[in-house]
């Protein structure tokens, strides 16, 4: 019984780890958008984001999810020309 409980907890932990809040944000913006971006979180003591490209995917790199979301907003606003607000595009 303990092993089943431990395996269940491990599966829940893996599912939570796999679901990035940024991927959820991208899917709310446009269905399938999370497949067009690569998100990389790196440890760094100062908040930052950087934009890069690998093949046909945009790479957004940052030290936390807030910085990565800021990088996504910057990319959409200044490169793509999309301004998102609470009431639509």
pLDDT tens digit sequence for 23-60: 999 999 889 999 999 999 999 999 999 999 999 999 99
Instruction: Check if the beta carbon of residue 60 is closer than 8 Å to that of residue 80.
Output: no
**What pairs with residue 88 in β-bridges?**
85
Q: Is the pLDDT of residue 63 over 60?
A: yes
pTM: 0.74
Quickly tell me which residue has 């690998």 as its tokens.
54
Q: Helix %, strand %, coil % for the chain, to 5?
A: 50, 20, 25
- Residue 81: is it exposed, middle or buried by C-beta count within 10 angstroms (0-12/13-18/19+)? exposed
pLDDT value at residue 83: 87
């Amino acid at each position: 019984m303990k092993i089943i409980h431990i395996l269940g907890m491990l599966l829940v932990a893996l599912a939570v780890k796999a679901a990035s809040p940024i991927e959820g944000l991208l899917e709310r913006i446009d269905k399938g958008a999370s497949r067009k971006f690569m998100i990389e979180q790196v440890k760094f003591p100062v908040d930052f984001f950087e934009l890069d490209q690998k093949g046909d995917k945009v790479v957004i790199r940052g030290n936390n999810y807030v910085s990565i979301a800021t990088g996504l907003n910057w990319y959409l606003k200044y490169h793509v020309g999309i301004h998102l607000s609470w009431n639509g595009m």
